[in-house]
Amino acid sequence: MRIYVADKSDTLRKIAQKFHINLSDLIALNSRIPDPDHPLAGFPVYLPLDPSYSEPGSIYVTPAPVSEGSWIPTSSLEKMSQTEYDVLIVGTGPGGGAVLWRLCEQWRNNGKKIGVVEAGNLLLPTHARNIETMNFKRWFDLAYNSPRLKIPVAGTKFVQLIAVGGRSLVWTAVSPRMYLPPQQWPVPQWEMDMYYRIAEQAMNVSNVYTAGSPINQLFLNRLRNGRYPAAMNLPLAADLEPTRYGEIHSNVFFSSISFLAKALYRKPYDLAVLARAVQVVTEKGCVAGVHVMTPDKRSYVLKAKTVILSASTFGTPRILLHSGIQGNAIGHYLINHSAVRGTFKFNRKDYPYVLGPIGILIPETEKLPYQVLLDGPMGYQFYHDKQTPFQEEMDALIAGFGTVEPRYENKVTLDPYKRDEYGMPELQIHLDYSETDKAILGQAAEEVKRVTSVIGAPLVSLAPDEPIDGDHEAGTCRMGDDPATSATDRYGQIHGVPGLYVADNSIFPVMGAANPTLTMVALAIRTADNIIRKLK
């Protein structure tokens, strides 16, 4: 069975004529629409799958892309709609990728069926920085300035990257652990530590990228001997292993494509691209599958015992709200990092030896609700670009990230008027800072100034982000024990809907100042383990 979204003037009788389907067959499939002349604009209508029905070419075109010859096998939605999946994952960013990898790693050939749907297309087969032609300017244009890749969300400065791999194709890969306040974080620290270790290993997180770099060591010494004994080399998700026994480590920077690849070598799964999930399907209160649409507006129902939404902090609540899933916290408690970003400069004359890169983290602590990052000189991670001209004066980046309180009034809601081309309501986003958030941001800015003074490199610029800016939004499907204040339980399962899970940044109940992806991946792996236990 397929789903067709009715046009303005459609009725069952007109659809039967349009698709050359027997009217009584159509009525039988759509028993909830008893009157064949009832206007159906915007309604989903079930059509039979039988290929003998001819379809007008103006409505349906051949779905793209084709799996043959592409760098990852893909399936068609038509084929996937004939399978009942044990697990169906929506989205292939780090959240969806991590769950997929863990399930495939643990299940191997046990007969369980896994499907994945991704709204975007195959774009890059690796992190953008692993591509040889990429230099700082080209990457900056791709990661920050490209309207083709980065799609603004609801008039804010937040962006989505709708493609296989999600935003991990261009992320900066900074991967510190987060301070998790025990009263507000429902997973015990010992368990988080265990899953952090698994996530760090899977994402190749280490702090050796800048270790031994002379300028980094000099700045670290100044910081540690000054007021920052906790200053450390920046933890990065980068595979720095040398080739051993012919095993080549050439994809240095981690992206979710690594998860998809590792999963593929453990267990086959079906992946449909250009497949936008629009609604979750439930039966008798339990999850039963997902409505998915192609860019040419074909609709399919994919059946699944378990559905995992990993469509991001904005994509996941949008699907849930559009599906009519009830939950007081769904879409609420939107959080982000407050941030100040700037540059500092130094002159090579003062450092007349091999410089090396700078990557330093002054981590958050229980008492310090912000972190400071130093990173540079500009473009240092583009190791292929051997022609970078010698410069006397060099710029490096410095940023302070502060925590933002989770508050009910910061939220995403469905726009009552505007719909996208798939008929999904657009999002409306509201996020502003509390007095506490503003105070923390002010402290982070002061700390950044002190840090540059301790390392002896003058600050050139410093400016705060707006609340609706940056890449660290989270919290719209927060986990917790109380359905009144949380959307999911402590394993990411939506309260009251067995089998429906969330695994992306939206699940954070609170967010420390650390960059979020490592913590989210650790949680996603834990969610996969819980599903494995349940589906035994």
Alpha helices by DSSP H, listed for 387-463, are: 435-455
Our finding on whether 90 is near ligand FAD (CB under 6 A) is yes
Question: Residues 277-296 vs ligand FAD: string with x where CB under 6 A?
Answer: x-------------------
- Using the rule CB under 6 A, which residue among 30, 40, 120, 394 binds ligand FAD? 120
Binding mask 313-352 for ligand FAD (x = CB under 6 A): --x---x---------------------------------
DSSP 3-state assignment of 425? strand
- Total number of residues that touch ligand FAD (CB under 6 A): 36
Q: Is residue 504 a contact point for ligand FAD (CB under 6 A)? A: yes
The CA distance from 502 to 507, in Å, is 7
Quote the least distance from Cβ 36 to ligand FAD, whole Å: 32
Nearer to ligand FAD, 60 or 140 (CB): 140
Q: Which helix (H) or strand (E) holds 11?
A: none
Write the CA distances from 207 to 32, 198, 232, integer angstroms. Answer: 59, 16, 8
Q: Record the tokens describing residue 54, joined without a space.
A: 């001819």
Minimum distance, C-beta of residue 138 to ligand FAD, in the bound complex (Å): 14
Binding status of residue 75 toward ligand FAD by CB under 6 A: no
Residue 316 or 486: the one with the smaller Cβ distance to ligand FAD is 316
Q: Near ligand FAD by CB under 6 A, which window of 24-32, 482-490, 509-517, 527-535?
A: 509-517
Per CB under 6 A, does 166 bind ligand FAD? yes
Candidates 102-110, 113-121, 184-192, 436-444; binding stretch for ligand FAD (CB under 6 A): 113-121
User: Does the protein bind ligand FAD through residue 363 (CB under 6 A)?
Assistant: no
Least distance from ligand FAD to the Cβ atom of residue 516, Å: 5
Q: Is residue 377 reached through a cis peptide bond, with omega within 30 degrees of 0 on the bond before it?
A: yes
Answer yes or no whether residue 271 interacts with ligand FAD by CB under 6 A: no
Query: What is the 3-state composition of the chain as percent helix, strand, coil, each rounded to the nearest 5?
Result: 25, 25, 50
At closest approach, how far in Å is the CB of 215 from ligand FAD?
21
d(CA 146, CA 197): 34
Q: Which long-range contacts (CB under 8 A, 24 or more apart) does 25-30 make?
A: 29/1
Q: Which is nearer to ligand FAD, 143 or 429 (CB)?
A: 143
Closest CA relative to residue 276, chosen from 298, 260, 261: 298
Distance in angstroms (rounded) separating the CA atoms of residues 435 and 187: 28
9: which 2 tokens?
């003037």
| CA separation for the pair 536, 532 (Å, rounded) | 6
Closest CA to 502 of 275, 293, 317: 317
Per the listing, tokens 């709204």 go with 119
Shortest Å, Cβ 252 to ligand FAD: 14
With H, G, I as helix, E, B as strand and everything else as coil, classify residue 15.
helix
Interaction of residue 74 with ligand FAD, rule CB under 6 A: no
Instruction: Based on the shown chain and the rule CB under 6 A, indicate whether residue 119 belongs to the binding site for ligand FAD.
Output: yes
Which stretch, 5-13, 49-57, 339-347, 510-518, contacts ligand FAD (CB under 6 A)? 510-518
- In the block, which residue shows the tokens 């927060």? 478
Query: In the complex with ligand FAD, which residue's Cβ is closer, 12 or 311?
Result: 311
Q: Which of 11, 75, 92, 294 binds ligand FAD (CB under 6 A)?
A: 92
Q: Which residues contact 351 (CB under 8 A, 6 or more apart)?
A: 214, 215, 218
94 lies in the site for ligand FAD, by CB under 6 A: yes
CA distance 156 to 148: 17
- Shortest separation between residue 173's beta carbon and ligand FAD, angstroms: 5
Contacts 24+ apart (CB under 8 A), 149-154: 149/123, 153/314, 153/427, 153/429, 154/314, 154/412, 154/415, 154/426, 154/427, 154/428, 154/429
Answer yes or no whether residue 471 interacts with ligand FAD by CB under 6 A.
Answer: yes
Minimum Å gap between C-beta 373 and ligand FAD is 9
Footprint (CB under 6 A) of ligand FAD, residues 19-48:
none
Q: Are 311 and 321 contacting, i.e. CB atoms less than 8 angstroms apart?
A: no
Q: Which of 30, 233, 312, 343 binds ligand FAD (CB under 6 A)?
A: 312
Q: At what angle do helices 189-202 and 517-534 cross, to 10 degrees?
A: 100
| Site of interaction with ligand FAD (CB under 6 A) | 90-96, 117-120, 143, 160, 162-163, 166-168, 170-174, 276-277, 310-312, 315, 319, 471, 504-505, 515-517
